Amino acid sequence: MKTIDNNQQYAETLAKYLSGEMSENELLDFESEIAVSEENETSIEKMKKQWTAMKGYKEQKSPDTRDAWNKLHDRLDEENLIPSGVPMAKRRMIPVFIKAAAVIMILVGIGTVIFLQVNRKPSVALVRVDTGNEANTLIKTLTDGSVIYIAQNSLFSFPKEFENDSRNVELKGEAFFDITSNPEKPFIIETDEAFIEVLGTAFNVKTQNGKGFELVVDRGKVKVTLKKNPSHSELVVAGEKINEVKNSFVKTKHAVNQSNKWYKQRMHFKDESLQNIISVLNRNFNTTFAVAEKETGTRKLTVTFNNETAETMTELICVTLNLKSQNINGSVVLSENKENTGTN
């Protein structure tokens, strides 16, 4: 969340732009930021119109601006909105801050999209996973421990490492999300239609190429916000389903049936660590896999499980990575097969 100082600084930048006080270089830089999306440009146009209207009103009425500022100053001072450390004499002057205050009023009138779109951090490089039309569920474990089950004909994009203050990913198609809880670092999924914000939960998202989406929550709670109408958000809790229809939400009850989940069918791991694979298997099936040594867990494996028994999964893993298995205290412990590592 941005601080008041950051908001004031950005409002002053907007004030300079709207009042035509930017240098040529500042103008080029600002307009290049605006051009990153059509949503930004629409918001700026609305601000221009309201700014022009305010100027016209001022020219017609020609009020006592100093008296008006003094009244506004008293109100802002009462609400502790004037930066501390400013001498009283300078507080009573009419600085660029009054233009910033006008910009803030305009922003309140048209929403906060411009803050979200223009002033956000540059996007980081994303890893893009395209599942194609193979009838597999591709499973990715992210660096925070969250597990994403990606359906066929879907595109999932995520950073190799999350930033310090958020976990942002993108989805086109369908995926089941099992998110590791971190209240200080929200997990945000961007689809064509909406932003989905979670802290720690499990839910299914299905998008339809910009023609609507469906979200079903298995556990926990998520917040869904329409991209075309950022003021429209809904909270969805376990046992509820929400659909986007004609730029609005329709929420209904939904019975959660864990016995026949699509993402448990034909589970495909591609170049995934053994530790991540067995963690997913233990989470979804009645298995108790473990590794004897940490180094063994870092070994990479590409494998597909299609309703296999625990014994068959154990055999596939051991044959592929040349491991051996032992039953120890009710767990299947996988370790290096040192007796069969020599060469002929």
Give the model's pLDDT for residue 110: 45
The partner residues of 167 in beta bridges, in order of sequence, read 187
Straight-line distance from the first to the last Cα atom of the chain, in angstroms, rounded to the nearest whole number: 62
Q: Report pTM.
A: 0.64
- Around Cβ 152, how many Cβ atoms within 10 Å? 16
| Residue ranges in the chain whose pLDDT is less than 70 | 1-12, 25, 29, 32-42, 46, 49-124, 210, 256-260, 340-344
* Domain extent listing, the chain: 4-118, 126-260, 266-340
Same fold, 126-260 and 266-340: no
Segment 282-334, tens digit of pLDDT: 999 889 999 999 999 999 999 999 988 999 999 999 999 999 999 999 999 99
Segment 177-192, tens digit of pLDDT: 999 999 889 999 999 9
**Residue 261: both structure tokens together:** 């989940």
CB 193 within 8 A of CB 215: no
Cα-to-chain-centroid distance, residue 153: 21
Give the model's pLDDT for residue 2: 37
Mention every residue, 6+ apart, whose C-beta is less than 8 A from residue 321.
274, 299, 301
Give the model's pLDDT for residue 11: 65
SS3 (DSSP) at 197: strand
* Residues comprising the chain, all counted: 344
- Rounded Cα–Cα distance for residues 146 and 187 (Å): 10
- Rounded Cα–Cα distance for residues 311 and 298 (Å): 22
CB 210 within 8 A of CB 229: no
Give the model's pLDDT for residue 94: 45
- Rounded Cα–Cα distance for residues 57 and 155 (Å): 50
**Residue 233: both structure tokens together:** 């958000």
* Residue position matching structure tokens 């009244």: 71
Give the model's pLDDT for residue 237: 92
CATH architecture of the domain with residue range 266-340: 3-Layer(bab) Sandwich (3.55)
The partner residues of 241 in beta bridges, in order of sequence, read 216, 252
HSE, CB side, 13 Å, CA atoms: give it for residue 110: 22
Q: Are strands 289-291 and 126-130 parallel, antiparallel or unpaired?
A: unpaired
- Rounded Cα–Cα distance for residues 56 and 58 (Å): 5
Helix (H) or strand (E) holding 129: strand 126-130
- Rounded Cα–Cα distance for residues 88 and 22 (Å): 28
What class does CATH assign to 126-260?
A: mainly beta
The partner residues of 328 in beta bridges, in order of sequence, read 331
